[in-house]
Structure 1
Amino acid sequence: MKMPASSASEASKHHSVSTLLDWTLLVLPGLIWGASFLFIAEGLESLPPNGVTFTRLLIGFLTLSVFPGVRKPVARSDWGGVALLGVIWMALPLSMFPFAEQSVSSALTGMLNGATPLLVAAVASLLARRLPGRGVLIGLAVGFAGTILVAAPTLGSGSSQATGVLLILIALVCYGFSVNLARPLQQRNGALPVIWRALGFATLLTAPLGAPALHNAHWTPASLFSMVALGAFGTAIAYVLLAVAAGRIGATRASATTFLIPAVALILGVVVRGERVALLSLCGGAVSFGGAILIRRASLLPAKH
């Protein structure tokens, strides 16, 4: 039986809207997180690093608080895991980036973040206590070689830049562990309740040093806008969008949004702040991106028995 023309048209229109929504949910988090390194750099014009971290966490927590779904209960047995997530996913790594960006450009910081999928895959294999498959191993080798190339030009630029790169790498290692910890917590309790509580814990944890810094801030319009955008979008809305995307198109496909971060950070750093990036770092970013693509393709292949 043939579908009426009007019904076929409606179905086609619904499919187009659904596809557009999926792409929007996939692209927006990457754009937001790519811009976050520019926002951090602008925020540092008015706040010290501890103030930037506390302010973004506070605004992010308050923003997420308007979503009713965040108040769903979390299993008592998972409270410790949520608190740990607040430390290693939020308080610690989000403190590393502002300190790092005092000596490292926002563009380079964002490019180094391209190594996040590599560390997530490496930590997952470590926690599983087994070597990943051949395809993932090749991707890890290529990706980490690219990360070394990205960071290499900073090694001859003084100890402050090298320290900044080290802080970024510490933050990325935290991300590698936290993503693997967050997955089972979110599966059992839902993404929003876990993220909201972790944000609340991280906000309290950073308040002793961050609140006085916020009180003594000297704002400019650009830094104020940047901190509001960093907190509301980069520390709250992007997490919500990614959670919705994972529910609609699957966690593996949704994680592809992280591939946008280095490119967005690079473009904004160069265009908005006039930052310069060494050619070797650009080549390394491309190699690291290639490694992440190899890991993703290997992870999507069916397991061989």
Structure 2
Amino acid sequence: MPVVLAVAVTVLLWASAFIGVRAAGHDYEPGSLALGRQLAGSVGVTAILAVRWLRSGTRPVLPRGRLLVAVLAWGVGWFSLYNLALNAAEQHLDAGTTALLVNVAPVLVAVLAGVLLGEGFPRRLLVGMAAAFAGVAVIAAATSSGERDVLGVALGLTAAVLYAGGATSQKRLLARVDALTMTWVGCLAGTVALVPFAPALAADAAAAPPSSTWAVVLLGLGPTAVAFTTWGYALSRLSAGRAAATTYLVPPLVVVLSWLVLAEVPAPVTFAGGALCLAGVAVATLPRRRVAPVPPVPAARA
């Protein structure tokens, strides 16, 4: 599969996830929605892994020891905690505003690289951070209804932190474990971590209309099973920064889909804050152009 196609599938499906969460969130609580999505996602990833196994005839090599512990921890963080934070955020904010907040994650990835990988804090990173978090402050001033909702903003930023941690740790682990196998193990770990929400899922599923239940199932099959598979494939072939930069397209896609499907449009102030966020992310994470050295001019001969 070409990397460009993997990135395009990931971006489109992850954008649709914000719409699905917002739509299903009217009938499902954050915990039950996360568990329902993960159950469907686990089935989907297992099917993808089984197809690859049958085609190649090679059994997947499972991580062991400390590597297995690291993959399990990654799965709980991204597939469980991230989904809980995202679902809860969209109980307070519209889909477009939430997407703008969550996609400050590439800045956080750069910060983690500076702290954990010794890549430092160049001036462009500091400027980008300032712009991105100024945008967050603007978004915090108003949601689509014009009301303050600090809790929703805090939950959106929590999701961004978990996203950044997940992307950073996944990139490091992919050097030691196959992308699809890692996705499968992590997805199962996230599902197990959400089992305490099983009673809430049963109650919500019994009362929810079929459209909301189908939204939960599609969230698991599309944005979880397929998109995390294509994301792992792309991340194994790109740097973490370049892969994260591709998610710049997610917020505008979410805003368009939210307008078409949910008839929600973020407030004008939110657009201004989102533009600041995306500009800050771009400044902080896009590589600088290297200026070719100017060859010395030979001295004129008399």
Q: CA offsets per residue over residues 70-122 of structure 1, 9 Å max, x none?
A: 84221322122112112222211111122222221112111212211111111
2:51 counterpart of 1:61: no
The aligned runs of 1:118-197 (5 Å cut-off) are 118-128=107-117, 131-154=120-143, 157-158=147-148, 161-197=149-185
Residue type at the aligned position of 1:79: L
1:29/1:242 contact within 8 Å kept:
yes
Distance, in Å, in 2 between the alignment partners of 1:122 and 1:248 is 21
Counterpart residue number, 2:294: none
Report if aligned partners of 1:125, 1:131 keep a CA contact under 8 Å in 2: yes
RMSD (Å), alpha carbons: 2.4
Instruction: Tell me if structure 2 keeps the 8 A contact 1:111–1:266.
Output: no
Give ranges in structure 2 of 5+ residues lacking alignment.
54-59, 292-302
Uncovered stretches (5+) of structure 1, i.e. residues with no partner:
1-17
1:9 aligns to what? none
Mapped to 2, the partners of 1:172 and 1:96 lie a distance apart of 9
| Contact 2:179-2:233 within 8 A present in 1 as well | no
How many equivalent residue pairs? 280
User: Is the alpha carbon distance of 1:297 and 1:99 closer, same or farther for their aligned partners in structure 2, counting shifts above 3 Å?
Assistant: closer
TM-score by length of 2: 0.84
The 1:188–1:299 alpha-carbon spacing in structure 2 relative to 1, beyond 3 Å, is: farther
Partner SS for 2:22: helix
Residue among 96, 99, 105 paired with 1:110 = 99
Residue number in structure 1 paired with 2:56: none
Report the counterpart of residue 71 of structure 2 in structure 1: 82
TM-score, length of structure 1 as denominator length? 0.83
Shift of residue 256, structure 1, vs aligned partner = 3.1
Q: Where in structure 2 are the equivalents of 1:18-33 lying within 5 Å?
A: 21-33=2-14
Q: Please give the secondary structure, in 2, of the residue aligned with 1:298.
A: coil
Distance (Å, rounded) in 2 between the aligned partners of 1:130 and 1:23? 27
Quick one: distance in 1 between partners of 2:44 and 2:90? 25
Greater shift, 251-260 or 280-289, is seen at 251-260
How far is the alpha carbon of 1:270 from its aligned partner? 2.2
Deviation at 1:247, TM superposition (A): 4.6
Matched-pair contact (CA < 8 Å) for 1:91–1:202: yes
- Counterparts of 2:13 and 2:155 in 1: how far apart (Å)? 22
- CA 248–103 in structure 1, closer or farther in 2 if over 3 Å, else same: closer
Aligned to 1:233: 222
Name 1:206's counterpart in structure 2: 194
Aligned residue in 2 for 1:48: 29
